[in-house]
Structure 1
Amino acid sequence: MMRLLFSLYAKRSGGLLLALLLACLTLAAGVTLFGVSGWFLTGAALATSALTFNLFGPSAMVRGFSFLRIVSRYGERLAGHATTFKILSDIRVRIFSRLIPLVPLRAAAHRTGDFVARLTADVETLDMMFLQVVAPVATAIFGALGLGLFLWIVLPDSLPVALIGFGLTTLLLPGLIVLAGRRSGAATVRTAADLRSAVLDGIDGHADLVALGAVDGARRSVDEAAAAVRTARLRQGRRIAFGPAFVVLGTGATAVATLYVGLSVLEAGRVSGPVLVGALLAVMAIFEVSGPILRGAGRLGAASAAAKRVQSLVDMRPSVIDPPRPVALPETGDIVFDKVGFTYGRDQQVLSGLDLTLHPGERVAIVGESGSGKSTLLGLLLRLVDVDAGEIRIGGVGIREVRQADLHAHVALLSQDAPVFIGTIRDNLRIADPAADDAALLAVLEKARLDGFVRGLPQGLDTWLGESGETLSAGQARRLCLARTLLSPARVLLLDEPTAGLDRPTEAAFLADLLAVTTGRTLVLATHAALPPGAVDRVYRLEDGALALEG
């Protein structure tokens, strides 16, 4: 966990140091405020007259330290939370960037629900680590040093008692809670991930579960996962609940011990009553930092397990990586599949000795049964995964020799499940070209025959689209994804079942428009749909891992 957190904290060290300094200042102001208040009230009560005790100095100090504590506390929370949110953003970006090359085609050895759990729940478990563990522990160490210096000056006899009590409550007891809670914390993270996986698997496979009559079994799996989460969280909650009790007991025991030592010093005349009371309240005030530490200790087991799961993704090496010395990708040239072979797992051969040559600007359709490998062929050209045999070249250069970013700028894919993201129409289009202006956006919408619809909306390009484009019809969503693909400057367009899920009239209209607006670009269309005569230059059938020219 510390390896993961250190790499994240190093990037945000400025904000974290500011929050830590403000936390130390807040603790120092609070301890001083309590000490001065005790000294002030006791001294005033014992004074025989106002002339024998200066009221103005102590009262001004009380007001000053009170105001300082308020300001520093506000600044600490502002700086600490702002930096924590930035760290959460950093870690989500890091995880997502790791997931991108892992998910396509072979998809690593994880379920979608497990990926979602790592990206959301595990990161959320780490969100308060700095505010509830790192900063309080560091503040406690600095506070203990400051308290020790203060007691060494005014009440040295109580120094061992106060520091031992503070150390037991703030450091030893949290350590014991961490050791006792490691197993329950790991169980909390594991069971929460299992529950998310079970729920998402049930949602994704709902149609199959209904068709196979397996809904009750899936429901039982979710119920069992939910019960496991409840049990794990109750165990963790009981340990967290011990925190406040330990703080009260530790504070009380240390205060009593300090008072016991202080009374003998007072009786010997080596300290005055007001100073003793001030020192006693200062000792009690420093325990303010113990609460967050003990609460954080109860969650440290879960945070450690979550960090391990997150780090395993961060450390995972993608199967497709850029070459150490990439070469430039030619702007144009033939696309050649040279005896390409690809196998899923150990024995599921999809492509075998496949040959294909595409000339610039050509249109080729690839047809075949579901599972024949059409989508795999397109994914190999994008280098979502590497071929097992043979080679793919563009302009005579093997795609393994170029940077993936350059390849993806040259080749664009419109898949059958291309998503509409939560956001505006403008946001969805600019994924393809973040610098595109409104004129360019409306131009591609016109090519996709969606500009009239968008212009008729009250907010136009700024119209908000719901979850998965729920405010759009299936045809409108598909045309929006087509417009996004057309906005890309890619010279090669790959279309994977672009009309899947559309009715026949909508499919025919979409294909007619699609073929009209992609003129001048190399087009590879994998489809089951009936194509208009002359729509493409060649039609290939993919069967038994090889291509055969039709017609």
Structure 2
Amino acid sequence: MNDLRHLLALARPWRLRMALGIALSVVVILSNVTLLALSGWFIASMALAGVGALTLEFFTPAAAIRGLAVLRTFARYLERLVTHDATLRLLSVLRVWFYQRLEPLAPARLQGFRDGDVLARLRTDIDSLDNFYLRILAPAIAGMISSIAILCVLFWFSPGVAVIDGVMLLLAGVIVPLVVASRTRASGHAVTGLRASIQAASTDLIRGLGELQVAGAVARQSRHLSLLSQKLIAAQRQQAWIGASGSALSALAGQLGMFCAFILLVSAGHAGAIAGNDIVMLLFAVLASTEAVAALPTAFAALGVTREAARRIFSMAELTPAVVLPSRSATPASFDLTFAAVTMRYAPEQPVVLDSLSFRVAQGQCLALLGPSGAGKTTILNLIQGFWDCDQGDVLIGDTPVRALSDEVLRQSISVVGQKTYLFNASIRDNLRLVAPDADDGTLWQALSQAALAEEVRAFPQGLDTLVGELGARLSGGQARRISIARAFLSHAPIVLLDEPTEGLDAANTEMVLKALKELVKGKTTLLVTHQIQPLILADSRLVLEG
């Protein structure tokens, strides 16, 4: 329940809107109960008036019935409008809030999560939280308020009927929903976990389709995905059956309550303690009062999913970043790079990756980092970017430790060209403007020209508006790499990190990329990580790391 309280705290800015939605729900329930009870009384009174048993003033109850019908319809419309608006506002803010919590965690604290699982939390789990206010909290509170109001009116007419209706509402609106919630807790957790597993398996199948085809494992991955889907359907079917059973039990409780009230009222009517038209009114009121709690069994069947989704979201959001950078800092006076006796390990139980490493790269110089895989080259790049912090020693830009620089200053000071260029499924223009949102087309063309890509982009029918496809699938590896270089030109960052910039490229693309990189690194502090010989022409010096 702590996670749900945390969710309520995030919803505090919309508490008045949410309260208004609950109030409108109460109006809808009470107007419906009153409408049915008054209609029953009016019909019975008309029948009695027809045989001369009583006199009836026709216009007031007829006008009240019409007014209640209009009120119920209008209140229902406003209730749906307000409650859905509050829910959508909460989800939109929650998604942004969650993303803001994820950003400082990347990449260090998110390495233990699969991409599909993170995506499931950001999308599916947050979407599941629409149940909390819309289907659980609002109906439960509105049902409680309405039930109290109904019981008070019934008690004024007949304490016995009020007791019967109270027992019925307690059974249908409290006991049955709690039993349903208890019975669906395990399946709710299973549904949430299986949704995440399906998201992860689908991501693996789509992104790794080429590798799976080469390995002949597409069928096996498809069967795994199918098995997960069958398990999800089974868990959802179990929830649906339990929810439906709860609704049936609640309806049965309502019918039993009406039957008991009928016996009591008929006995009272024979004794002359209550008029016949009032008997019909009270019976209809008892029958209609079940509306106050009718939706709760099905709603509480979704409580397990909602609680597990909230737990998954807040458990990730509450992780502590590996490095907490200050919110503000000054820009370093110079941009030389210094490692001063740096010792680094990724976890206390893991071996040391860097052991008292010291070196310095003067501003405007390029240092090539060489060594076998696992020697710590990528770790050095991660430390410079502030993704990790070292256990001992200092990593400095100029005279300022990296941990003392704000995220904004650090990102503006460093550009990265790696072997994996992430491109969004958008136009070339949009992908370039990630680093320079205000850049005009002339500036973009200049950056493409510096990256030796302008002529190829001009040859595309749509030029800068060309869509690059998912992960840049419509571009060659060399073209994607040169878009990364064009981004680096646009960023004007004084520090450049080159992580295997020519890995996987043919000779022609390697030549074009190296030509562009020669221009990029001029006058900039550069670290080059490579296993190849060709990029070493960029380096002024070399540092060999031992594995």
TM-score (norm. length: structure 1)? 0.86
**Which amino acid in the other structure matches residue 184 of structure 1?**
S
Q: Is the 8 A contact 1:426 1:461 kept in 2?
A: yes
Q: Is the 8 A contact 2:334 2:399 kept in 1?
A: no
Structure 1 residues 69 and 504, CA gap change in structure 2 (3 angstroms): farther
Structure 1 residues 532 and 399, CA gap change in structure 2 (3 angstroms): closer
**In the TM superposition, what is the alpha-carbon distance from 1:186 to its structure 2 partner?**
2.1
Distance 2:57 2:118 in 1: 66
**In the TM superposition, what is the alpha-carbon distance from 1:249 to its structure 2 partner?**
0.9
What SS does the corresponding residue of 2:419 show, helix, strand or coil?
Answer: coil
Q: Is the 8 A contact 1:374 1:542 kept in 2?
A: no
User: Partner of 1:549 in structure 2?
Assistant: none
Distance 1:439 1:455 in 2: 13
Q: Is the 8 A contact 1:243 1:291 kept in 2?
A: no
**In the TM superposition, what is the alpha-carbon distance from 1:294 to its structure 2 partner?**
0.8
What SS does the corresponding residue of 2:394 show, helix, strand or coil?
Answer: strand
The answer to whether residue 410 in structure 2 is matched with residue 407 in structure 1 is yes
Out of 16, 24, 27, the residue aligned to residue 25 of structure 1 is: 27
User: Partner of 1:333 in structure 2?
Assistant: 335
What SS does the corresponding residue of 2:538 show, helix, strand or coil?
Answer: coil
Instruction: List per-residue Cα deviations over 1:337-391 (Å, max 9, x = no partner).
Output: 2232333454444333333322333334434444443322211100101123321
**In the TM superposition, what is the alpha-carbon distance from 1:129 to its structure 2 partner?**
1.6
Distance 2:135 2:57 in 1: 40
Distance 2:57 2:477 in 1: 81
**In the TM superposition, what is the alpha-carbon distance from 1:195 to its structure 2 partner?**
4.1
The answer to whether residue 41 in structure 2 is matched with residue 39 in structure 1 is yes
**In the TM superposition, what is the alpha-carbon distance from 1:463 to its structure 2 partner?**
5.5
**Which amino acid in the other structure matches residue 181 of structure 1?**
T
Structure 1 residues 490 and 22, CA gap change in structure 2 (3 angstroms): farther
Once the two structures are superposed, the pairs formed by residues 448-459 of structure 1 within 5 Å of their partners are 448-450=451-453
Out of 291, 295, 301, the residue aligned to residue 294 of structure 2 is: 291
Q: Identify unmatched segments of 5+ residues in structure 1.
A: 546-551
Q: Larger deviation: 82-91 or 425-434?
A: 425-434
**Which amino acid in the other structure matches residue 299 of structure 1?**
A
**In the TM superposition, what is the alpha-carbon distance from 1:16 to its structure 2 partner?**
1.8
Out of 370, 376, 398, the residue aligned to residue 379 of structure 2 is: 376
Q: Is the 8 A contact 2:417 2:485 kept in 1?
A: yes
Structure 1 residues 129 and 458, CA gap change in structure 2 (3 angstroms): farther
Distance 2:471 2:510 in 1: 20
**In the TM superposition, what is the alpha-carbon distance from 1:72 to its structure 2 partner?**
2.2
The answer to whether residue 372 in structure 2 is matched with residue 342 in structure 1 is no
The answer to whether residue 84 in structure 2 is matched with residue 81 in structure 1 is yes
User: Partner of 1:246 in structure 2?
Assistant: 249
Structure 1 residues 442 and 13, CA gap change in structure 2 (3 angstroms): farther
Out of 156, 160, 163, the residue aligned to residue 157 of structure 1 is: 160
Identity, % of aligned pairs? 33
User: Partner of 2:147 in structure 1?
Assistant: 144
Instruction: List per-residue Cα deviations over 1:94-113 (Å, max 9, x = no partner).
Output: 33333334342574433334
Once the two structures are superposed, the pairs formed by residues 155-234 of structure 1 within 5 Å of their partners are 155-201=158-204, 221-222=224-225, 224-234=227-237
TM-score (norm. length: structure 2)? 0.87
**In the TM superposition, what is the alpha-carbon distance from 1:398 to its structure 2 partner?**
1.1
User: Partner of 1:91 in structure 2?
Assistant: 94
What SS does the corresponding residue of 1:291 show, helix, strand or coil?
Answer: coil
**In the TM superposition, what is the alpha-carbon distance from 1:218 to its structure 2 partner?**
5.2
User: Partner of 1:505 in structure 2?
Assistant: 508
Distance 1:316 1:121 in 2: 20
Instruction: List per-residue Cα deviations over 1:182-205 (Å, max 9, x = no partner).
Output: 222223333443444445455556
Q: Is the 8 A contact 1:326 1:401 kept in 2?
A: no
User: Partner of 1:16 in structure 2?
Assistant: 18
Q: Is the 8 A contact 1:351 1:544 kept in 2?
A: no
Structure 1 residues 22 and 361, CA gap change in structure 2 (3 angstroms): farther
Instruction: List per-residue Cα deviations over 1:132-186 (Å, max 9, x = no partner).
Output: 1101000001101221232233344311111211121011110111122222222
**In the TM superposition, what is the alpha-carbon distance from 1:313 to its structure 2 partner?**
1.0
Q: Is the 8 A contact 1:105 1:376 kept in 2?
A: no
Distance 1:40 1:74 in 2: 27
Structure 1 residues 70 and 485, CA gap change in structure 2 (3 angstroms): farther
Q: Identify unmatched segments of 5+ residues in structure 2.
A: none
Structure 1 residues 454 and 44, CA gap change in structure 2 (3 angstroms): farther
Instruction: List per-residue Cα deviations over 1:197-249 (Å, max 9, x = no partner).
Output: 44545555666666667667656654554444344333323212213312321
What SS does the corresponding residue of 2:390 show, helix, strand or coil?
Answer: coil
Q: Is the 8 A contact 1:363 1:536 kept in 2?
A: yes
What SS does the corresponding residue of 1:282 show, helix, strand or coil?
Answer: helix
Distance 1:453 1:54 in 2: 87
**Which amino acid in the other structure matches residue 319 of structure 1?**
A
Out of 109, 114, 117, the residue aligned to residue 117 of structure 2 is: 114
Out of 490, 511, 514, the residue aligned to residue 493 of structure 2 is: 490
The answer to whether residue 311 in structure 2 is matched with residue 308 in structure 1 is yes
Instruction: List per-residue Cα deviations over 1:263-287 (Å, max 9, x = no partner).
Output: 3333444443333323332332232
Distance 2:306 2:395 in 1: 45
Q: Larger deviation: 51-60 or 27-36?
A: 51-60
Structure 1 residues 515 and 292, CA gap change in structure 2 (3 angstroms): farther
What SS does the corresponding residue of 2:99 show, helix, strand or coil?
Answer: helix
User: Partner of 2:484 in structure 1?
Assistant: 481
Instruction: List per-residue Cα deviations over 1:72-107 (Å, max 9, x = no partner).
Output: 222222222232223223333333333334342574
Distance 1:374 1:258 in 2: 80
User: Partner of 2:7 in structure 1?
Assistant: 5
Distance 1:501 1:14 in 2: 58
**Which amino acid in the other structure matches residue 34 of structure 1?**
L
